Amino acid sequence: MYHVALKMLGGDRTKFTTLILGVAFTAFLVTFAVSYFCGFMTRGFALISETPGDIWVMDPAVSSVEQVTNLPESALMRLRSVPGVASAAPLLLGSAEVRFPNGAFQPFQIIGVDDNSLVGAPFIENLNISVLRQPGQVVVDDGGTENKLNTPLRPADIWPGNGRPHLGGAMRRLATGDSLEINEHHIRITGVSKIHPRYPARPLMYMTISNARRILLTERKQISFILVNATPGITPQMLAAHIEQQTGLKARVASDFKSDTVRWYLINSEDVGDVMSMLTLAITVGFGVTGVMLYMFTNESLKQYAVLSALGALPVQLLKMVFLQATVCGLTGAGIGTGLCAIAELFLHESDYPFRMMWFAPLAGGGMVILTGAVAAILSARPVLKLEPAIVFAGK
């Protein structure tokens, strides 16, 4: 009977191909949507991924790298006295309006790194990052933006003597040696990095904390996070618990802090909510189309099932045939759809497109398609069970 079911499935090649393509499209859509969302969230916690540190210590009210409040200098001293702490480096997050040489301005996220260890500074090939310790030296990055790091091409448009902005001239990308202005302080570009894009996209500027204190507006507290490494023999989870118990600060292992950041975006970011709504609508439509196609295929095969029933096939055997056909279509379509998504990742991996195909994305795409096929098969089972063999002889 199973052989007959497969013969029925491939008997009409046009219908079978259309059905497989429909299922494959749904699997591709679901897998792509999950990977697209993962790409956005990866950008959201990119700072955590790119900054070395076993544990992130912060104010107890902080839940993400997007919304922070600073700690006093004494918090760093207290952390370094906790048993099991091998190193503790401060990290400052801030923002500033940066003036370009032609008079234009652009908001930047300021990332201040520890003067001694330079933990958190980006890697730039052929650049000794220790030059950041010199006064007024910074590294910039576009942070996933486009055309935000442009400076005038013509020397006449650079810091014009008349004091008027020259905004209409030819532009080029910022390079080493160019200068910018923050709060009436001139700073020099030491290098332009190329790190993982951010979400939300924004230009980034790296400098030492001592430089940040000279350049940025004065604040009493200027430590956003403290990056802690554990001594050998103690796990980061154990050390995080000890830190919270002894200091009253919040300590999160890097992987847990990434999860906290994703959760924060899901709750607080309207952009993420809009993206999820659109993806949910698209996935729902895809599931609806797949379910209808599977149901129609079974419904159009009722005459063949009636013939088999007239020849003595039991209802249980007919049901097994229906579920076999749905399983074959689901598995074949899911394999094709997730395979196409994996091919798409090969082309999108090196681009700036927010796409990250994690291990659970194919499982989500294939699993949801197979679930849809099972639901369609269950709905299709009712007319099969109600079949009257007489319809064959009635010519219906």
- Residue-wise pLDDT tens digits, 156-181: 888 877 778 888 888 999 999 999 99
With contact defined as beta carbons under 8 Å apart, do 365 and 37 qualify?
no
**CA–CA dist 331, 343 (Å, integer):** 18
Structure confidence by residue, pLDDT tens digits, 44-87? 999 999 999 999 999 999 999 998 999 999 999 999 999 999 99
User: How many CB atoms sit inside 10 A of residue 147's CB?
Assistant: 8
Return left, alpha or beta for 160; rule: phi > 0 is left, psi -120 to 50 is alpha, else beta.
beta
Average pLDDT over residues 234-263: 94
Average pLDDT over residues 270-294: 74
Residues 264, 274, single domain; the answer is no
Confidence of residue 301 (pLDDT cuts 50, 70, 90): confident
Residues 316, 174, single domain; the answer is no
**pTM assigned to the model:** 0.81
Residues 153, 196, single domain; the answer is yes
Residues 263, 275, single domain; the answer is no
**CA–CA dist 131, 115 (Å, integer):** 11
- Where does a domain end: 218, 245, 268? 268
Residues 230, 355, single domain; the answer is no
What angle do the packed helices 2-11 and 13-44 form, to 10 degrees?
90
Residues 334, 254, single domain; the answer is no
**CA–CA dist 157, 167 (Å, integer):** 8
How many domains does the chain divide into?
2
Which structural domain range is residue 284 located in?
2-43+270-394
Residues 143, 222, single domain; the answer is yes
Residues 223, 309, single domain; the answer is no
Residues 245, 178, single domain; the answer is yes
Average pLDDT of the chain, as a whole number: 85
Residues 114, 252, single domain; the answer is yes
With contact defined as beta carbons under 8 Å apart, do 182 and 117 qualify?
no
**CA–CA dist 386, 396 (Å, integer):** 15
* DSSP calls for 92-140: EEEEEEEEPTTS-EEEEEEEEE-TTT-TTPPP-TT--GGGGGSTTEEEE
Residues 71, 203, single domain; the answer is yes
Average pLDDT over residues 258-279: 82
Residues 160, 261, single domain; the answer is yes
pLDDT beyond 80 at 343: yes
